[in-house]
A and B are shown apart, each in its own frame.
Chain A
Amino acid sequence: MTENDDLDGLAAEYVLGSLSLAERKDVDARRKRDAALDQAVTAWERRLGPLSAGAPGIEPPPDLFASIADRLWGAGRSSGATVIPMPARPRSVGWRAYGVGASAMAACLLLGVAWLLLNVNVPARPMQFVGELHRSAGTAADEGAAAKGAPAFKIALDLNTRNMVVEPVSLRATPRRSFELWLLRTGGAAPVSLGLVSHSARTTVPWREDYPTSGLVDDSLAVSLEPEGGSPARAPTGPILFVGKLRAATP
């Protein structure tokens, strides 16, 4: 029984991704002669597979398919028939799917514009805001330098100078990842990327003309963990680490 548990636990961790390279290689080799382990791995792939299906996608570089075709069939030696033309032919269903994405994006933009139009004439709009970002909920075992309840970032926005200052408070480095700051609008509008912020130094974010200037106290700010250089999509692709809200600064 314990042995079976171990086998199933090993298969589960293999699929989960938590094994070291050596352990993975060991499982790869063992699977070939151990049918029970192989079946356990397949069962875990089925069990956890839906997680990947639900996670957000990222658009690969446009020329990647050409590179793959090149590797498989060689671009140079063909008569033209073997090379898949880029961009794709009109009958390619995938492009139609992308078309749907594009119009959904356009709809989001339109919503954003409509929202701005509705909010342009809010009287006596506050021009200065402050706020703090805290670790998002559900994180335990926080042994970090920041005391419990202390913010991870302090934020000050001045719409007169159109600058937002983002100041980290005792954060540590996360190699090969970037922190990206987002304005999450109420009402389901698309998130606005405010750019990358440093974990160690003050970052000044220019408040661009196309950024919203009203309704900000209703929105949320969030910092997500992204691949180096920031989210490859127009929304966070990694986990949200820190969240907070702006409030009007008392003059």
Chain B
Amino acid sequence: MPVTRDDLVEALAAVARGDKAAFEMVYRATSLKLYGIVVRILGQRALADEVLQEVYVRVWQRAGEFDPATSSPITWLTTIARNRALDEAKRKTMRSFDDHPEVLELPSGDDPLENHAQNEERRRLQACLDTLEPEKREMVLLAYFFGLTREEIASHTGRPAATVKTWLRRSLAQLKSCLER
């Protein structure tokens, strides 16, 4: 039986009490996902290995801060992983993406780590992303999945950094209002 969102909520509460078996369960259930996130942002497996270790050390230390009333467990874990990976990636001098990646096609199937409502949320987010113009949608996803800064996106797309900033902010505002609709 796959691990569900409720299992994770319970396990994180146990981790907060120092339960090592629960911690391992959290790791087994989520490391595939978090490692994917970290590898994409860092682009290097050796560095990703190190960062993933730090991420789970933080999970162990901060499990008590997780509040199921305000966040889903996978969103909470994702946030820790992304923030750690983004900080690390941006320590590097500017990375250049001379090619023009097309956006990731996201799988549309249900994620067992999320409940029905959250899978619905994801489909809505995807639908809202699809309303963005292709170039703007691509900029948004380049930043989200690969952690590219405005300057990196600028050198990648040939648009000025100021334009990238304007477009990103407009696109994000558009996403927000689409999601609130």
Contact = CB atoms under 8 A, between A and B. Distances in A.
Nearest to A97: B2
Contact of A17 (B74, B82, B125, B137): B82
B24 A60 contact: no
A126 B105 CA distance: 32
The main secondary structure of chain B at its interface with chain A is helix
Given A53-B122, A174-B99, A232-B45, A94 B172 contact: no
A48 B149 CA distance: 17
B181 interface: no
A55 B37 contact: yes
Contact of B107 (A49, A56, A93, A143): A56
A241 interface: yes
B149 A59 contact: no
A94 B29 contact: yes
Interface string A34-49: 0000000010111111
Interface size class of B (residues with CB under 8 A): 35 or more
Contact of B102 (A58, A59, A93, A239): A239
Contacts of A209: none
Contact of B53 (A64, A97, A171): A64
23 contacts: A16-B140, A17-B82, A20-B90, A20-B149, A21-B91, A44-B172, A45-B71, A47-B125, A47-B176, A47-B179, A49-B78, A59-B35, A69-B24, A72-B57, A72-B60, A92-B24, A93-B7, A97-B29, A97-B112, A100-B2, A135-B102, A237-B40, A238-B40
Given A53-B74, A227-B43, 20 more contacts: A13-B169, A16-B144, A47-B176, A47-B179, A50-B122, A55-B40, A57-B33, A58-B32, A60-B31, A64-B52, A68-B56, A68-B57, A136-B102, A175-B96, A225-B99, A227-B48, A232-B39, A238-B104, A239-B101, A241-B99
